[in-house]
Each structure stands twice: as structure tokens, then as C-alpha cells.
Amino acid sequence: MKIRLDRTVCDGFGVCAKHAPGYFSLDDWGYASLIGDGTVAEQDHDPVMRALFDCPVHAITEIGDRKPDVVHPSPGSTDDPAENLKTESNEAQWGFTR
Amino acid sequence: MKTSQAAVITVATSPGCQPRLLGEQPGQAREDLAAYRGLGGYRPLPDADALLGEVESCGLVGRGGAAFPLAVKLRAVRDNGRVAAGTVVVANGEEGEPASIKDRWLLRNRPHLVLDGLRLAAAVVSADCAYVYVSDPESARSVEAALSELDSAPLRGITVSLLAVQPGYVAGEETAAVRKINGGPAKPTDKPPRPFEAGVGELPTLVSNVETLANLPYLQHYGSAAFRSQGTLLSPGTFLATITGAGRPPVLYELPHGLPFTELLALHGVSPDQVRGALMSGYFAGLLNQRVLESTLDHETMRRLGSGLGCGAISLITDDCPVAVAASVLAYFDRENAGQCGSCFNGTAAMAAVAGALRDGVATTEDLDRLRRWSVVLRGRGACATLDAATNVAASLLDQFPDEVAQHLDSGCQGCSRGAFRANRPYEAEAVRQA
């Protein structure tokens, strides 16, 4: 199972981090971010689903099998130092994608 | 140097640099279809896959700020489009970065170069629907005029639509562009999905900066080896650099990647002795101290310095206090963030408050500790990279200018007490124009 958290929807109730602290971290103001890429281990299914259902603003959704063929690019070969300039998962580190 | 009559932006190239983007006679007037065709534009494209191969060989990386390899993005959109039965291409010219002018210059002066690049990218990903996304009214008029000049032949069945939106820092983020085209507000969405997975109309979408696209006609004409004849191995080709600050009017340069920073200073008429540091990549990559003088202008070098070349906007800090500059930029983020993610609207407000207090000589050690912690833990906590930009500014201030920070904490800053640098849009290249 894979989940996504829409942080533009999160209202900082913090219920998710109470149910599944290994998957959701809260900032100083109580707003959540996902820990990891949203992939949920089999044994953690129940607490994460509880977080999903208990979120008062429905910021957490289950994703995954809808588009199995979608290609996710990763730039460059491993000996290319430019590869770390940007990937789809590290915008935090390397840029405002315009 | 020549001054563009339409927009009064001074443009120049470095000695020996063969301009590919500014054109041979930059800034004379808007280049019309006949003039662009006269330079060999809108060449027939018999084999789109071969062009993709050339994009791969030439190593072109995106010029919107993220420096993502264009070939990787093109291939992902093309391949995803085969599953989704369609793709869309968006030329992103909504230059929300106040210290940058390059995209507006291209759209105002060389709209056909951008449209040529757009139709080449559309051919590579097999898109029959394309958008030009802008906020600058003069850019919109220029693109509109260029589209009306075009008969359908060069576009070969590609429908190109122009969308002009209200300007804003976040409006140019790629998911904000997609959301706006889809009928929503011009504000970012959280990821996934990224536009290459599901974008305009849920179709795989290539959102590409207009300068990135403007490189494609040159590549098609001359090939990847010629493309690499300027620039470095990892940052091939030339790039557009908006240079602001140092008490001088902004200048738009086309420079080869890898040019020593000091050569840019010489070109700009600024002595290295005057330079205290620089604000890099518009407001995104934060501050560099005098170490910037040892740098070369390419992505790999800037990354090694813990900064970034990004969109090529560099603001030179000479007389201004770096603490006050950081405070102004953080205050800008506090005002201009999308107001969507709690970590961002709280985090930018909190960091701006501490930086402002530091500038005004009323911050405490505890405040600084909090700023340091936020600059680390808030990274990556927003749907777009606005919060990351703010953390970059805060972290780089503390890292690059520890003496100035300590001085503000202890005895205050003489310069700031005489009248601190305060700008709503620090080092703005041009006053914002509303549509």
C-alpha cells in the first residue's frame, strides 16, 4: 500500500502522528509531513489506515495501483555528479521547479 | 551593450561567447517571423526520436531553477503518454522570481525562438496540445503577435494556447501552472503526482522553462557536439544571467557555463574588493560570502559551495548588510507564499520575524537557536519549494556570515542602525507589471 499526504489540505490536527508516528512527523505548529515516500509496510497497515480515516480534513489518501506503467525518471548515471542536481523526490534540496 | 527599446533591459554577452539565446543583435526590436526564419528557424523535423537523442547527448539541463536533465523529462513524458494516450507541453514563462528578467526578455524579444523550441519539444513527446504560460503583459502581447504571424505549417497540427495569469512568486511553479491551466488557482499542488505523471487534463505533461525550450532550435540546427562547444561537461552550453545589485542597473548576460565569477564582475564593472557576497538563484539558493569570488558559473561548482546557479539570477551584495538582505527576502516569502501549507506560512513568518529582529538589533540567542533549527527541520515540509528557499536563505545567512550575525546579536550593526536595507522585492530586476 502507498499513501500520499496533501499538505495544502492538512490543518494540523495531528491525529495521524498519534496513530502512526513512524509515518507522520509534525512541525512546531502541528502540521504534518510524511516520513519516507508513503510506502506502507504490511504490518503497519492498520495504524496508517486509522490515521487515514481519522484525519478530519481527509488530507491522507491511498494511492498506488492506479497507474502501474507510469515512468518515474531518475536523472543521469551513477558516475555523473550532475545526477544529484535534481530528481522528482528531492525538490527540497535542489530547486524551485519552474 | 545595447539597450532594448521595448523593455529597456540592457543585454550583453561575454567576450568570445557566441550568443545562442540573445541573438546576434540583441535588443534591436521584437524578432518577427521573417527575421527568425531568416536565421534558419522552424526547420523541418523529420525524426523526433533523433532529436531526443541529441538532447540526451548535449546534456541540456532545465533553466527554470532545478537543473533537471531535459532528456530525462522528455523521455518520461513521451513514455507515459503512450500509456495515457496523449501528452501536453507547457512553455513556462511565468517568471515569478523578482530578481530575474531572462524569461520575459526572451518572450518579448524572441518569441519565435521560444515557440520553435515548444513545437520541437511537442514533437518529441507527441503532444498535439501546447500552452504558453505567462504573467507579463508585454510577453503575452509578443507571443500573441508571434502566434498570429504563424501559419499552421511550422506547428504541424499542434494547437498552441496562450494563458496570461496574475504574477506571483508561486504562480510559476510547475504544478501551479498545471493547476491554473486546469481551471484552478495558480498555486502549487502537493506531489505526487508530478506533471510528467498527470498534469494538464490528467495527461502526462512536460512543463519546461522558456529558456530551456529556446535552446532546442540551436541544438536541432547544429547538433549536440556544437552545443557542448561552450560550457562545462556537466553544465553544457550558455545560459542567461540576470545580474542585479551593487548599486547598478540590472543587466541580462548570455554567458558560457563555467565562466569565472570574477570575469562576470569585470564585465559588469564591479571590483571584487567591493563584493561582500551574493544572493544566488534569485531568492532560492540563499547567500554566499566572498567565497563566491573563487567560483565559476556552473551548476556543479555552485553546488559544491552549497549554493546553486538555478535560474541564473545573481544579486551582488556590496554596501548592503547581508543580515538585512536575508531579513528582506524572508519577509518577502512570508508575504508571497501560497498560504496553503501550515509549515510554510508559519515557518516563513517565524523565520522572517527572527531575521527582522536580528537586523533591528533586538534578537536573542534563543531566537537564533530557533532560526538555526527551523532552517534544518522545515526543509522539505512544503508542497512546493518556497519553504525550502526560505530555509536556504536562513541557513546560508548563519553559515556564510557568522561574524555579521554575531555583531548584530552583540552590539548591533552600524550600517543597519543608520538605515537598514529594506526592500519589499530585494534586487528586483524590473517593477512587476499587472496583466
Looking at residue B29, its pLDDT comes to 81
Which helix (DSSP H) or strand (DSSP E) does residue B129 occupy?
A: strand B129-134
CB neighbours (10 Å) of residue B296? 18
CATH architecture of B238-317: Roll (3.10)
Q: Is the pLDDT of residue A36 over 70?
A: yes
Q: Scanning the structure block, which residue is given the C-alpha cell 527568425?
A: B36
Alpha-carbon distance of B97 to B282, in angstroms, equals 6
Which residues neighbour A88 within 8 Å (Cβ) at sequence distance 6 or greater? A72, A73, A74, B191, B194, B196
Dig out the grid coordinates for A73 from the structure.
525518471
CB of A79 within 8 A of CB of A35?
no
| Pairwise CB contact (< 8 Å): B197 & A94 | no
Q: What is the CA radius of gyration of chain B?
A: 21
State which amino acid sits at residue B393. V
Contacts of A70 in chain B (CB under 8 A): 80, 83, 197, 204
Q: Is the pLDDT of residue B25 over 80?
A: no
- Residue B209 in 3-state DSSP? strand
| Pairwise CB contact (< 8 Å): B68 & A85 | yes
> At A45, is the pLDDT very low, low, confident or very high (cuts 50, 70, 90)?
very high
Q: Scanning the structure block, which residue is given the C-alpha cell 540551436?
A: B218
pLDDT digits (tens, 9 = 90+) for B212-267: 999 999 999 999 999 999 999 999 999 999 999 999 999 999 999 999 999 999 99
B422: buried, middle or exposed (CB in 10 Å: 19+, 13-18, 0-12)? middle
CATH number of B28-37+44-227: 3.40.50.11540
B189 shares contact with chain A (CB less than 8 Å): yes
B174 shares contact with chain A (CB less than 8 Å): yes
Which of B55, B63, B72, B345 has the highest number of chain A CBs within 10 A, making it the mutation to test binding with A?
B72
Which residues neighbour B362 within 8 Å (Cβ) at sequence distance 6 or greater? none
Contacts of A9 in chain B (CB under 8 A): 190
Any idea where the domains of chain B sit in the sequence? 28-37+44-227, 238-317, 322-417
Alpha-carbon B299 to chain mean position = 13
Looking at residue A83, its pLDDT comes to 45
> At B34, is the pLDDT very low, low, confident or very high (cuts 50, 70, 90)?
very high
A46 shares contact with chain B (CB less than 8 Å): no
> CATH number for the B322-417 domain, one of 1.20.1440.230, 3.40.50.10330, 1.10.10.10, 1.10.3720.10?
1.20.1440.230
For the segment A70-92, the average pLDDT, to the nearest whole number, is 53
- Residue B376 in 3-state DSSP? helix
Out of B150-164, B255-269, B416-430, least confident range: B150-164
Alpha-carbon distance of B15 to A49, in angstroms, equals 62
DSSP state of B236: B
| Pairwise CB contact (< 8 Å): B380 & A63 | no
Q: Is the pLDDT of residue A2 over 60?
A: yes
> At B435, is the pLDDT very low, low, confident or very high (cuts 50, 70, 90)?
low
> At B404, is the pLDDT very low, low, confident or very high (cuts 50, 70, 90)?
very high
Q: Is the pLDDT of residue B305 over 50?
A: yes
CA-CA-CA-CA dihedral for B62, B68, B69, B74, to nearest 10? -80
B375 shares contact with chain A (CB less than 8 Å): no
A10 shares contact with chain B (CB less than 8 Å): yes
For the segment B191-220, the average pLDDT, to the nearest whole number, is 97
Task: Report in angstroms the alpha-carbon separations of B341 from A18, A52, B383.
Answer: 20, 18, 7
Q: What percent of chain A has pLDDT over 90?
A: 64
B349, closest residue in chain A (CA to CA): A29
Longest dimension (CA), chain A: 46
User: Which residue in A63, A84, A98 is closest to B92 by CB distance?
Assistant: A98
Alpha-carbon distance of B175 to B189, in angstroms, equals 6
Q: Measured in Å, how far apart are chain B's first and last C-alpha atoms?
A: 29
The DSSP bridge pattern shows strands B238-245 and B313-317 to be: parallel
| Pairwise CB contact (< 8 Å): A31 & B343 | yes
* Interface predicted TM-score of the whole assembly (ipTM), two decimals: 0.91
For the segment B66-73, the average pLDDT, to the nearest whole number, is 95
For the segment B156-169, the average pLDDT, to the nearest whole number, is 94
| Pairwise CB contact (< 8 Å): A27 & B342 | yes
